[in-house]
Amino acid sequence: MRVSADDRTFRPVSDTVVALLAASAPFFDFSDDELSGPAGGALSFATAGAFALVIGLSLLVRRRYPFVVLGLLLLAAVMAAASGGEESSIPFLIGATVALYTVASSRPRQTALVAGVVSMAIAFAVELGSATGSMVSRESLAPVFWTAFAVAAGDAVRSRRISMQVLEERARRAEATREQEARARVAEERLHIARDLHDIVAHHIAVVSIQAGLAERAMSRDALETAVTAIRHVSEASRLALDDLSAVLHLLRASGDRDDREPAPGLAQVNDLLDTYANADHRVHVTIQGRARPLDAASELTAYRVIQESLTNASKHGILGQTHLTLSYEPADFVVTVTNPVRSDVEGNIPMAPGTGYGMIGLRERVDAIGGTVTAGQQANGVFVVEVHIPYAPVEPAGTESTP
């Protein structure tokens, strides 16, 4: 993070007012303890006008050239004191005070301190050079006070400016961080959707594998009608898989917000899912236990994906027609259980289709995200069991309204 107190911007109104006020100093009389007005000026009108012109023009460019202006006014103060006495140098010392403030407010503190010490020494020399009494008096100590005040005031303004810049930079970085987090959330959501579509594609590919095997067997037995039906299912499943794959690629390449899609599948779509397997001669035996209870959208989507992935794995690695799906509405959890005997290389069975390995990983992540648990593995009797516990979530009944 880079901040700078260097402010060289010319402010027409404030800088002009300051220059005019300092330029009016030569028209005042500083020879007495009481400050006299313009009528009592110690300098002639022409001399006062020349001094005012030098001071005013110098202070107009003090923000751009603070050291030059400070040095010029201090030099003018020395020359005025040498030629006309202490009173002649005071207007230039007033202008030098403004220039010193500018140095302190726009340059590092160490630089401002050096400039303050140099200014104090020069002003002190002017006071001592024109002193007629004691070496140390109230008048001779005046440079200590005005230089200290100029440096302190300028440094305070500089510190405040830096603090404001730091706060603005932090706000800008916080906004940029929020934008990055938003983009990261969008990317994460796209990844989840892509993983979701991967499960669907895997399901379609499993159907293609089963139907292709059926077609091969039917052709070997001259069952032309069965082969044509199987090939038709292969064509339909392949088309669906390509459409879903295109959706995955679109999501991964998209740079804007994702488009609206159809509602996410839930338990109501399980029958359609089972029909696709039934059409592929992979009939699933379904058992529903307990009284149905409502699940929220995330839990329903998770349950659907659990069933889909489990049946896909069963079609790849199990014996067709021996898959059992049990949906249990238990008191604490909604439980999905899928069992199927693991298929061995037995004549008459379709060869085992290769799996991607990402489906079960995505399934575990989905279930973990809603606070559920997954148990999957092959039992001693050769049956592969997937058991998923999905906790119920409070769902407000449709059509209910709060009463005042």
237 vs 171, more confident: 171
Q: What CATH number is attached to the domain comprising 393?
A: 3.30.565.10
Choosing from 92, 111, 140, the residue where a domain stops is 140
238 SS3 class: helix
Note the pLDDT of residue 248.
59
Domain range for 88 is 12-140
- Check whether 37 has a pLDDT greater than 60: no
**Contact between residue 52 and residue 24 where contact means Cβ atoms under 8 Å apart:** yes
Amino acid 322: pLDDT: 86
> Which has the closest alpha carbon to 95: 79, 77, 113, 109?
77
pLDDT digit string (tens) for 212-271? Answer: 776 666 676 666 777 677 777 776 777 666 666 665 555 555 544 444 445 668 888 999
**64 domain-assigned:** yes
Among the three residues 120, 140, 160, which one is the final residue of a domain in this structure?
140
For residues 7 and 254, the model is more confident at: 7
- pTM comes to 0.43
Number of domains composing the chain: 2
Instruction: For residue 373, name the pLDDT band (cuts at 50, 70, 90).
Output: very high
* 194-205 mean pLDDT: 67
3-state secondary structure of 379: coil
Residue 62 domain flag: yes
74 in a structural domain: yes
Alpha-carbon dihedral of residues 337, 343, 348, 352, nearest 10 degrees?
A: 100
H-only helix segments in 259-396:
270-279, 297-317, 358-369
Q: What do you get for the CA distance between the two ends of the chain, in Å? A: 53
* Phi and psi at residue 122, to the nearest 5°: -65, -45
Per-residue pLDDT band at 35 (split at 50, 70, 90): very low
Gap between the Cα atoms of 336 and 303, Å rounded? 7
Residue 336: band (very low, low, confident or very high) from pLDDT cuts 50, 70, 90: very high
Q: What are the tens digits of pLDDT across the range 300-332? A: 888 998 998 888 888 777 787 789 999 999 998
Going by DSSP bridges, is the β-strand pair 333-341/383-391 parallel, antiparallel, or unpaired? antiparallel
> Residue 197 — very low, low, confident or very high, per pLDDT cuts 50/70/90?
low
Whether 179 has a pLDDT exceeding 90, the answer reads no
Three-point CA angle 309, 315, 320, nearest 5°: 140
Between CA 149 and CA 167 the distance in angstroms is: 27
More confidently predicted of 137 and 344: 344
Q: How confident is the model at residue 334 (pLDDT cuts 50, 70, 90)?
A: very high
Q: Which residue has the tokens 């002017």?
A: 126
The residue whose two tokens read 């059409």 is 279
Last residue of a domain, one of 75, 106, 140: 140
Residues 193 and 196: their CA atoms lie apart, in Å, by 5
Determine the 3-state secondary structure of 71 from DSSP: helix
Q: What confidence score (pLDDT) does residue 386 get?
A: 92
Q: How far is residue 114 CA from its own chain's centroid?
A: 43
Tell me the average pLDDT across 361-385: 83
Which distant-in-sequence residues (6+ apart) come within 8 Å of 145 by Cβ?
none
Asked if residues 130 and 93 have their Cβ atoms less than 8 Å apart, the reply is no
Residue 249: its pLDDT value, please? 59
Contact (Cβ atoms closer than 8 angstroms) between residue 306 and residue 388: yes
92-145: per-residue pLDDT in tens? 888 999 999 999 998 998 999 999 999 888 888 887 765 555 555 566 677 788
As given in the structure block, the two tokens for residue 96 are 């030098």
The pLDDT tens digits for 50-89 are 888 988 898 999 888 999 999 999 998 888 888 876 677 8
- Per-residue confidence at 353, pLDDT binned at 50, 70, 90? very low
The confidence score (pLDDT) of residue 114 equals 92
| Range with lowest mean pLDDT among 56-70, 109-123, 173-187, 279-293 | 173-187
In a domain, 232, yes or no: no
384: Cβ–Cβ under 8 A, 6 or more apart, which residues?
A: 313, 314, 317, 318, 339, 340, 341, 342, 376, 377, 378
Name the least confident of 21-30, 169-178, 248-257: 248-257
Q: Length of the chain, please?
A: 404
Q: What is the mean pLDDT of residues 349-378?
A: 66
Which is it for strands 323-329 and 284-289: parallel, antiparallel or unpaired?
parallel
Give the angle 8-12-18 at the CA atoms, nearest 5°: 90
Tell me what the mean pLDDT of segment 2-25 comes to: 74
Name the region of 348 (left: φ>0; alpha: ψ -120 to 50; beta: rest). left
Residue 384 lies in a domain: yes
Question: pLDDT: is 181 or 224 the higher one?
Answer: 181
What Cα–Cα distance (Å) separates residue 32 from each residue in 37, 40, 84, 348, 390?
A: 12, 11, 15, 123, 94
How many whole angstroms separate alpha carbon 316 and alpha carbon 355? 7
